Chain A
Amino acid sequence: MAVIAGGGWWAMRQRASEQPTVAAVTPVTSQSQDLAPASTPEATLPPNIGPPTGCIHRPAFVSQLNLGDQIYIGTNLKGYTGLTLSAQQPDGRVAVYQHPTWDDAGNLAAYVLDQAGNIYVAPAPFVSLDENLPEEQNNIYKIDTHTGVMSLFIKLPWAQPPNTTNPYGVMGLTYDCDAHSLYASSVAGSTYDEELGRIFQIDPATATVVSQLDGVDAFGLAAYRGAAGKRLYFGSARNSGIRSVALDETGALSAEQRLEFYLLQAPGGQDERAKRIQFPKRDEMLVKGIEFNYTLRAASDFKEHDYTYRYDPANDAWEFVRMRLREGVQ
């Protein structure tokens, strides 16, 4: 069973002078974590090494909401379908805001922001398909930074359409500030026998696919500038492997994949899939691993593991640091 829905949280700060007006108040019971990239540079690393995510900007419409100082984006808030913004209020309660369009695509999961503060978000079924039709799971939606309105951004081309034996489409999203490219992974149409997923490089300005890698079922993904150039790291949806491909200066995907490591190789590592890959520090990769078998999940407790790896520039490789269990109820 997969914990697909709910891409976690992304924190945004706003000016302290803005007063919150609470749209709806709901205590948040799910776990949350500030996933904003750390800004502390590691002194020993050359300055060009690190994730190309520094341009990410908060959505402009957020300033109109007066939600509070620190705002979280979530796609797994209990009681809500779709994307939400949450902010803790001075009295300890949590204000939740949801634009009327943010549940139009059913349950959502992966999301990412760009340098203008637009939010790109992808659907993923949760428990059942009644709000997530298979043929809509390869769509990406865009929440406009100025209006907050969510609308269809792009329908990604699939090798085969999603179906009842694999109801999933887009699994991961990331943004590269160097090339101003959006990357998406999709497993649409893949079967037990055939790996038909794709990784796409998308031009956000034109909503067109610039380059793509075929025959890859990938889950979470993220770009990183290493000692030997920039690579797109991605977790396989079919095993616990983390792989990568080189990106050229335009952000185009190369065809040659490199196996980095398996989560299973870590001490205590599990046969999990990398739902999300992040770089909380310039030299640190955080992989969120979950169980995934191309089935839906029942509503219940979830169990995830966070795997941390440190970058070794001399070998352009990653070394395991630690693993943590994260549990909760959804």
Chain B
Amino acid sequence: MLHGLLPADKNMTTTKRLLLPILILSLLLLAGCGKQETPAPVAPTAPVEQGATQTAPAIIAIPTLSPANHITPLAEELDEKQQLAQNVAMNSPLLQKLTTDPKTGQPLRAEVFGVYPARESDITSESEICKTVTCYRVDIYNWATNTTYVVMVDIDNQQVVNVDAMPETSPELPPHLIREAMDIAVNAPEVEKELGFKPDPDAPTMAGVKTTFNNTACELSHHLCVAPTFEMKDKALWAIVDLTDKKLVAVRWTDYGDYSGGLPTEETVERQDIFEEYCRQSHELEKDGWRMDFILTASDGLRLSDVAFQGEPVLRSVKLVDYHVSYSTQDQFGYSDAIGCPMFSSAAVVAMSPPEIGPITDDDGQEIGFYINQDFVHPLWPQPCNYRYNQRYEFYKDGRFRVMAANLGRGCGNDAVYRFLYRIDPVAPDGGGQTFAQWDGSEWKVWEKEQWFKETPDTPLTPEGYLYRVTNQDDSGYYIEPNRGQFGDGGRGDNAFTYVVKHHPDEGDADMLTLGVCCNLDYRQGPEVFIDGESIVDADIVIWYVPVVENDDRPGHEYCWADKVVENGMYVTKIWPCWSGPMFIPISK
């Protein structure tokens, strides 16, 4: 039987003690494991005397490792007893099971981090037998799940006595990983820049790797992270190193004994840096004939403003006010998720990485424009009822631009209907009015007054695929091409609601509170409250564009979905984004 035990010097909580054995017991039952494990096949051994006391029998031979074993042994020199304990632990069917993906049977990356004679503090009621036999403690780390297994091995009888699993916890690092972490930190340009000199390889201390460096240090990636710390006169530089990906994550100064600022971890550093850099100040971007300002808002995602092409104003602003998600099989169940800054915001799904700006290339690899992408993610994604959203803007050298958004799963079920609330505020180059028109199959029909329209697959488009048109007084302007899956991003069509209203500053120029409710599937998505019959001919207008997208988890048809798969012994998240958003094409005069 497996028990949830923990040595007294480990930070194991009572709840974990209660929950983990249940989890592991379930695995045991699935594995058909009995109360006592059958020792692995071994070379001939001396018979074990029944009722053996503290006098350990002589060790005759060390069991060989099973050929199918996928756990990496400790890369240090071990004495005979350590070797024996390690091999018994590694051969244990339970440990093999715990380090194997339960769905696919693929082995996960796991490694022995330490083998020690069991101390008195390691022995608990579940491993009480270790008071009468010789026990060793074997620490095995599962890199894929960021879990530590503390394995108590009775080397007299060559069997596993107890296994304690500790999620999101790393054991004491073996010397080779300590050296690796030091090397990464010492050679990182960021560390040299902060210190003002390249540190000596022996200068960093690994003080409190286990205790002063929180075991949730890499909360977002769920990786094994440590913090080599460079201690200066009155402060210390923490270099957060991700040993799973073998890279420096961040550096952060701390004052000795000051707990008010918290401890530097992957998440806290990211949160702080993004807030300081992108939520508190606007950035100007000029590229490929375009210029704009961008800023992360408190609840309306990444907002672009004063967007111009070749010096001519195009958009006053554009942003994404809310994601509505409802679940079709559950009446009125869903959420209105705002996206935005990771601190001091009314966003439920926040930015945990900076905006990404990159090139757009055509099939020949020629650069034809650029994109700005902003990721918003819940830290526990892709676990159920956790969400990830992307906002993306594409700008092309020929004057086209596309406003985009996607859900990346996984949500609370496979019956989700997502609606993304884009607010697009176009402006005429001359500051004059604009006119909105819709293609009716034969001609452009001007929208005289504020109204909405729901696009369907049968809605007529021009031969070029355009549905709407925004024109300035001189007949320049933009066509609007809805997404019907033609953009090569995997999107399957928007079937969007489009609302056009007269611009009023108090109808969304500033950060907006939640607009509309989560679960209406008809035109009542929120923007309809701004429709009150005003004329929008030759007027300052605002376009609300609300795609309606359904998720799918069927194998081979996944959409708005995410799942974890095993690659090279590590869990990686596979995503099936559902991109939405219309393309704006300049009208040739």
Q: Footprint of B on A, CB under 8 Å?
A: 1, 125, 127-130, 133-134, 164-167, 191-192, 239-241, 262, 264-265, 267-268, 270-271, 293-301, 305, 322-327, 329
Contact = CB atoms under 8 A, between A and B. Distances in A.
Interface residues of B, number: 53
Q: Which 8 A-B pairs have the closest CB atoms?
A: A268-B11, A271-B262, A262-B259, A325-B13, A130-B514, A128-B336, A296-B348, A164-B298
B449 interface: no
Nearest to A190: B344
B454 interface: no
Contact of A295 (B261, B346, B412, B513): B346
Nearest to A322: B14
A12 B516 CA distance: 39
A326 B15 contact: yes
Given A134-B513, A166-B344, A305-B13, 18 more contacts: A125-B346, A128-B335, A129-B338, A130-B514, A165-B344, A167-B346, A192-B343, A192-B344, A240-B262, A271-B262, A293-B343, A295-B340, A295-B341, A295-B343, A300-B378, A300-B383, A325-B13, A325-B16
Contact of A300 (B216, B386, B512): B386
25 contacts: A127-B336, A128-B322, A128-B514, A128-B518, A129-B338, A129-B346, A130-B336, A165-B344, A192-B280, A239-B260, A241-B260, A270-B214, A271-B263, A293-B343, A295-B343, A295-B350, A296-B348, A299-B385, A299-B412, A324-B15, A325-B16, A326-B15, A327-B15, A327-B19, A329-B385
Interface string B316-345: 000000100000000000011110111111
A163 B362 CA distance: 44
Interface string B501-531: 0000000000111101110000000000000
A131 to B, nearest CB: 9
Contact of A270 (B211, B216, B322, B340): B216
B299 interface: yes
Nearest to B219: A291
B13 A324 contact: yes
Contact of A239 (B262, B335, B346): B262
A125 B338 CA distance: 12
Most buried by B among A262, A300, A305: A300
B11 A240 contact: no
B262 A264 contact: yes
B507 to A, nearest CB: 15
Given A267-B11, A301-B380, A164 B346 contact: yes
A165 B346 contact: yes
Nearest to A293: B343
A290 to B, nearest CB: 13
Nearest to A133: B513
B345 A127 contact: no
Nearest to A264: B259
Given A192-B275, A293-B343, A300-B383, A127 B11 contact: no
B225 interface: no
Nearest to A238: B260
B70 interface: no
Contacts of B211: 267-268
Contact of B335 (A264, A293, A299, A329): A299
Contacts of A267: 11, 211
A133 B412 CA distance: 25
Contact of A298 (B342, B346, B378): B378
